[in-house]
Amino acid sequence: MKLSHAPWSDGEEMRKLLAALDADQGMTRYVGGCVRDTLLDLPVSDVDFATRLQPDAILERLQAARIKAIPTGIAHGTITAILRGQAVEITTLRRDISTDGRRATVAFTTDWQEDAARRDFTINAISADPISLELFDYFAGLADLQQGRVRFIGDPIQRIAEDHLRILRFFRFHARFGRGGPDPDALEACTMRANDLMALSRERIADELLKLLAVADPAATIALMVARGILRPVLPEIDAGGVAHLAELVDRECVLGVAGDPVRRMSALLPADGDVAASVGARLRLSNKVIKRLVTAADRGTGSDPRVLAYRIGVESAIDRLLLGESSARLAEKLAALDGWKKPRLHLGGGDLIAMGVPAGPEVSRILLAIEGEWAANGFPNDKETVRALAKRHVDQLLRFNQ
């Protein structure tokens, strides 16, 4: 069996890179996700090469070929070649010397099967000759790929002990590529070793969880993880109620043709409590922007006009709130009202109010907020006369009250 020709392998720069790495002499192969996804006729996002060449030799050859090279992980044998519009990771064949569940000490090798044996799943260990497109499958990954089965290479317990993140990766790959129930040995190993997740950095956990939530439909896999207690050591806030809410959200996204969003889906999994959302976001060391979005989504209120909601909290967060909290028949209509909507600007400031007689101080901000709220509720009129009349009415009311 051979790998079919794929667009990502085309181009003069790719041919120049392969020539620099002696692909025609069997020194370099395609490996990993680009092979797997091409076999499944899926879009390829990341291109990886494995090579018998040592890292220093790779750098020298790329420099001689005038290909930009970045030593992204040279201690572990990885160099990134920058082509026009594409990055290619090139890694020297390796074998593990020691592992502690978070990082590995490696030695370089020239043995293709030895390198393949250190990869996590059989479907990720298939490689291909770039010239002949011949496939090399040492662990029956092709059969697993055809049957929709995600299976560890070797003993699952040992593979998880080498890298604890493989627990979460197993469920992500099962959600994306699996058909039917998960591999029993892998599932039992992940369940048994779930507490190992506590040894990982929270950034790695967050990254893997968000990738899982980005697959087409992660709900069944997340439900399995919760039932098996996989997430309990690091995210005890996620329970069966959150799983049910996630399933509802995924159904709504599908019916309404809205792209699934991992942050929104994480919001669905968490209780509708801003303090909990903030705590989880901080624990996972998410960005301030993402934490703010989780906290905003925790309040499920939507109001009657989606544009007013979007004006207050932003279009992205308004869509989150609508999909998480709105169950009316008008949901599609409300989402459509935000399609391409841009936040309007109220052409009125504190200086205008002071000029109209409002004393400088906190009253200016209070009146401006009141005007802004009524202006938004009235459909954001943008003619100056309407805005001035609205402002005058609020100012006159204040002045009469202060007399």
pLDDT value for 259: 94
Per-run averaged pLDDT (10 residues), the chain, 403 residues: 90 94 96 96 94 95 94 86 91 83 80 95 97 97 97 96 96 96 97 96 96 97 97 96 96 94 98 96 97 96 90 95 86 93 89 85 88 89 86 82 69
pLDDT value for 176: 97
pLDDT value for 101: 63
Taking the C-alpha atoms of residue 110 and residue 94, their distance in angstroms, rounded to an integer, is 8
Domain ranges of the chain: 1-147, 350-402
CB 338 within 8 A of CB 319: yes
pLDDT tens digits for 352-383?
A: 888 888 888 888 899 899 888 888 988 898 88
CB 113 within 8 A of CB 41: no
CA neighbor of 182 nearest in space, from 262, 121, 233: 121
- CB burial string 278-308: b at 16+ within 10 A, e below: ebbbeebebeeebbbbbbbbbbeebeeebbb
pLDDT value for 142: 97
Residue 401 makes CB contacts below 8 A (sequence gap 6+) with none
pLDDT value for 403: 63
CB 114 within 8 A of CB 123: no
**DSSP result, 307-329:** HHHHHHH-HHHHHHHHHHH--ST
pLDDT tens digits for 182-198?
A: 999 999 999 999 999 99
Q: Which helix (H) or strand (E) holds 96?
A: strand 94-99
pLDDT value for 352: 84
Q: How many CB atoms lie within 10 A of CB 42?
A: 12
* pTM (whole model) above 0.85: yes
CATH 2.40.160.10 fits 1-147, yes or no: no
pLDDT value for 325: 87
**Which residue type is seen at 183?**
D
